[in-house]
């Protein structure tokens, strides 16, 4: 009977490959995690620091430096991070070298509501606490409560999306009857917006008025600018 040595060699090579793969996999499983690497999607980690993320995991008994890779529950890590008041979304994964990487999108405020305590409204229209690390430069909202979020959110969202308005509108006041008045940077006049409706039309009218009045150097002569009447801007002089 003729022995097929090539067949035997193939079996031995296959067995060696399976053994080495299993050995490497076992070592990879029991290897302890080396360190945490935090990536913030924004250019600056304004409201939350890498140290704060590390502390958060330790406080929730996820001190990963002493944990084997096979025992770490990535879903739990993500859940802990996503429950943080300053985090909008967190993604967590492991590298082959044992690095726990987290990619974090922080919540972004678009308005600051005065009150006791004060708080932000974020870009999704939800309540967000103030941060001890950073104070956002956003319009200040007066006379607004959580019950008014649905009403005022389209207004502050539009302001936040517009470069001109972001630069010039510094405050928003809710008056009785659900009408709004805006404060404009370095201007003495009150900007009466009215109800939160026809937002784009009203602001386009205001931009046209502002551009013309600024060119004519007469902005300082007004005490009230009213945007609520159709396609016109009604002004009251001092």
Same domain, 24 and 37: no
Domain hosting 193: range is 109-237
The pLDDT value recorded for residue 238 is 86
Reduced to 3 states (helix: H, G, I; strand: E, B; else coil), residue 78 is helix
Domains in the chain: how many in total? 3
Token pair 């902005």 in the structure block, residue: 219
In a shared domain, residues 35 and 24: no
- Each residue of 189-202: pLDDT tens digit? 989 999 999 999 99
Indicate if 11 and 67 belong to the same structural domain. Answer: no
**Confidence check: pLDDT of 24 > 60:** no
Query: So what's the pLDDT on residue 229?
Result: 86
Residue 26: band (very low, low, confident or very high) from pLDDT cuts 50, 70, 90: very low
Dihedral angle sign, alpha carbons of residues 50, 55, 58, 59? negative
Q: In the predicted model, what is the mean pLDDT of residues 150-154?
A: 96
Predicted TM-score of the model (pTM): 0.77
* 131 and 178 together in one domain: yes
Predicted local distance difference test score (pLDDT) of residue 19: 41
Q: Give the rounded distance of the alpha carbon of 13 from its chain centre.
A: 53
**What pLDDT is stored for residue 72 in this prediction?**
63
Q: Is the domain of 222 the same as that of 207?
A: yes
Does residue 73 share a domain with residue 56? yes
| Domain endpoint, select from 76, 91, 106 | 106
- The candidate with the shortest Cα–Cα distance to 74, out of 94, 44, 55, is 94
Distance CA 150, CA 153 (A): 6
Same domain, yes or no, for 23 and 137? no
Q: Which of 106, 132, 150 is the last residue of a domain?
A: 106
Domain of residue 171, CATH code: 3.40.50.11690
> Residue 26 is encoded by which pair of tokens?
């076992």
Based on the domain organization, do 49 and 11 belong to the same domain?
no
81 and 134 housed in the same domain = no
More confident residue, 238 or 72: 238
């Amino acid at each position: 009977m003729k022995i097929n040595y090539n067949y035997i060699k193939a079996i031995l090579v296959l067995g060696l490959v399976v053994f080495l793969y299993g050995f490497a996999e076992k070592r990879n499983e029991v290897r302890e995690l080396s360190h945490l690497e935090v990536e913030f999607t924004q250019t600056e980690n304004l409201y939350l620091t890498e140290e704060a993320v590390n502390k958060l995991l330790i406080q929730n008994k996820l001190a990963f430096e002493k944990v084997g890779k096979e025992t770490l529950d990535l879903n739990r890590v993500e859940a802990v991070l996503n429950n943080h008041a300053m985090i909008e979304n967190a993604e967590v994964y492991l590298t082959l070298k044992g690095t726990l990487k987290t990619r974090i999108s922080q919540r972004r405020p678009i308005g600051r509501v005065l009150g006791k305590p004060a708080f932000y409204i974020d870009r999704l229209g939800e309540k967000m606490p103030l941060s001890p690390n950073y104070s956002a430069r956003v319009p200040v909202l007066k006379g607004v409560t959580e019950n008014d979020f649905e009403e005022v959110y389209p207004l502050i969202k539009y302001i936040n999306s517009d470069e001109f308005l972001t630069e010039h509108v510094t405050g928003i006041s809710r008056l009785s009857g659900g009408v709004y008045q805006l404060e404009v940077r370095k201007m003495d006049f009150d900007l009466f917006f009215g109800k939160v409706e026809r937002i784009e039309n009203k602001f386009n009218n205001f931009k046209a008025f502002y551009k013309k009045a600024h060119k004519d150097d007469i902005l300082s002569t007004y005490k009230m600018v009213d945007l609520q009447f159709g396609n016109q801007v009604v002004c009251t002089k001092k």
